[in-house]
A and B are shown apart, each in its own frame.
Chain A
């Protein structure tokens, strides 16, 4: 897909530069300074007054159209904003399940809630410490 998008972009840039160069060449002709005949359908304010041959106009419009298509196609893809869709895709895709560093990755955004250490047995730790002290005194 990226290759197609890049090909469309390159084609669009080529045609656009050719069209702009043709328009510039056309502007050098002595006949190009004559005003175009006013449109019979459109009102005066909306008349585009294009003074170019039809092929240059069509080439400009088509190249811009293809460049828009290429720009949209070559941009990175959007991410779903619903948490369920986003997290579901995260758990399914393979590279997101890999742990990159501590607490990052694993595919489950709720992992730090699901796997928490339990409560510390403070009385047991106290007893063990007292035991250890008693042992070190006797030896």
Chain B
């Protein structure tokens, strides 16, 4: 449980929190459009496309966790569940749909 006393004993650096959140959101924005390209090329429709996106997002989260955060998520993210595993999951959804529809139209129609 994180309370005021815990924060007073172990203070956190807001600059680093911001920097980490920006990097995660950059990675998510880039990879979301990549997943859109793949989903459109494969010709996925409706539910399988969204499942593909969430599956890919989970893989990217695992990459960040193992390659960037040295498998210690709590020392790089204030709340690992919200900032790393589910962070910006729906922010990339719109760019995913954009490139998904574009490449579906290019390769199918």
The secondary structure that dominates the A interface is helix
Q: How many residues of B contact A (CB 8 A)?
A: 43
- Look across to chain A and name the residue whose beta carbon is closest to the beta carbon of B42: A50
Minimum C-beta distance from A73 to chain B (A): 6
Q: Verify A81–B17 contact, CB threshold 8 A.
A: yes
Q: Verify A60–B60 contact, CB threshold 8 A.
A: no
| B16 close to chain A: CB less than 8 A | yes
- Look across to chain B and name the residue whose beta carbon is closest to the beta carbon of A22: B41
Q: Verify A68–B103 contact, CB threshold 8 A.
A: no
The secondary structure that dominates the B interface is helix
Which of the residues A20, A64, A73, A82 comes within 8 Å of B67, measured between beta carbons?
A: A73
Minimum C-beta distance from B71 to chain A (A): 12
Minimum C-beta distance from A27 to chain B (A): 5
Contact surface of B with A, Cβ cutoff 8 Å: 10-13, 15-17, 19-20, 23, 26-27, 30-31, 34-35, 37-38, 41-48, 51, 56, 59-60, 63-64, 67-69, 75-78, 103, 106-108
Q: Which 3 A-B pairs have the closest CB atoms?
A: A79-B16, A83-B11, A48-B48
